[in-house]
Amino acid sequence: MSTSDCQLVVIGGGPGGYAAAFRAADLGLDVTLVESAPRLGGVCLLRGCIPSKALLHVARVLTEAREAAEWGIRFGSPTIDLGAVRDWKDRVIGRLADGVLELARRRGIRILHARATFVDSQTLRLEGADVGTLRFRNAILATGSIPAVPPPLAADDPRVIDSTGALELQDIPARLLVVGGGYIGLEMGTVYSALGSRVVVVEMTDGLLPGVDRDLVRPLAQRLKERFEAVHLNTRVVALRPDADGVLASLEGASAGEERFDRVLIAVGRRPNSLNLGLENTKVIVDGRGFVQVDRQLRTADANIFAIGDLAGEPMLAHKASHEGRTAAEVVAGHDTEFDKAAIPAVVFTDPEIAWCGLTETQARSQGREVQVARFPWGASGRAATLGRADGVTKLICDPQTQRVLGVGITGAGAGELIAEGVLAVEMAAVARDVAETVHPHPTLSETVGESAEAVLGSATHLFVRRA
């Protein structure tokens, strides 16, 4: 056992943790980064965002090859080398993880591979490849989250998997059950469907992607209806019984019955990784859902301990964690700053993609708030037509008196790339005229944002709106 001291310890090497460590080091702090896994990058890089997007790109290539028949180009049936696909995905992960490690080394950050638990508000016990006691002046908790599995669906069987297991891509099951119609389930369902699985989604609510505006979800729901074997809404999976022939799922609700599957993916959400950290030995407060309570500077009830990312509350998104990490590092360094974002974008990387930021129509209705909404259908977009993807929509949500942009929603190919303009508009308190009078290149999908803003003003070049 060894004992050492540091000015700042960051616990967790994911996108929030390493962003915090990097910013703190750039500000001149002595930083130690503690990560229990052999590599930096966290769930996002190693077991989440990056591998899933690599596989979604594979899925998109397969889908486009099939769709090309409509344009007069026909390919033969693809031959899928699953081992080569896994190797490519792993190479992407490895290259990015090596890059993060090199950036940490160049900044002089000390990296310890261990599990950290609090002995008290200024001391950590380390167990793992590095063992000892670490005394710190300040700590930033960035331990992330793990997949949530309802106890009735917990099964000690390799055919019942979570998102991590799905990304391992062990095989292409003939029939896959996805429990949960949220973004993780739909993204992984998209991958396996493109690879050849017959995918069935079960969602307990009356629509996919609960909480997302229905007009944004509608084009995706229609496409998945064509691609998936079935989507069962208002239905619950109440039991899973593995046997020699597969996994028997018992369904209750609108699509009650029993169905057999080769694999089952549990994708009902994630829960914060706040257990077994020794937080009871500090003044840190954890709420009933497992989130660590923080103020706008990401400070916990223990003045020298901060928490960021999934641990600190929803939305549980990597880019939110990164910005929170930088904020916490600046506060530790003595800067007068806080995490105060008007718009945190969300992207669902399905086909089509869905992206939104700021105020949604769903939120406006729940708040009884009057808003002006302008929609631009991608059927009127020249660029969407050239891509064969006229199934999208772009909309702006504005204040009806000032026409200030309060929110933006986009469904369509590349929506995740387009949403950044919307985020900037909301953050900068832009009005619709600011967006409308910004020159958008032609022909691009970005024009749909500009024409949505024109529609707010009463006229869009490629839409005719009959006036009363």
pLDDT of the residue at 375: 96
Closest CA to 284 of 312, 309, 315: 312
Question: One of 57, 323, 442, 462 is an active-site residue; which one?
Answer: 442
Residue-level pLDDT, tens digit, the chain, 468 residues:
577 899 999 999 999 999 999 999 999 999 999 999 999 999 999 999 999 999 999 999 999 999 999 999 999 899 999 999 999 999 999 999 999 999 999 999 999 999 999 999 999 999 998 889 999 999 999 999 999 999 989 888 999 999 999 999 999 999 999 999 999 999 999 999 999 999 999 999 999 999 999 999 999 999 999 999 999 999 999 999 999 999 999 999 999 999 999 999 999 999 999 999 999 999 999 999 999 999 999 999 999 999 999 999 999 999 999 999 999 999 999 999 999 999 999 999 999 999 999 999 999 999 999 999 999 999 999 999 999 999 999 999 999 999 999 999 999 999 999 999 999 999 999 999 999 999 999 999 999 999 999 999 998 899 876 665
Residue 442 bears catalytic tag: yes
pLDDT of the residue at 1: 53
Cα distance between residue 361 and residue 415, in whole Å: 18
pLDDT of the residue at 405: 98
Going from the N-terminus, what domains does the chain have, and what CATH number goes with each?
A: 2-147+271-332 (3.50.50.60), 151-268 (3.50.50.60), 346-456 (3.30.390.30)
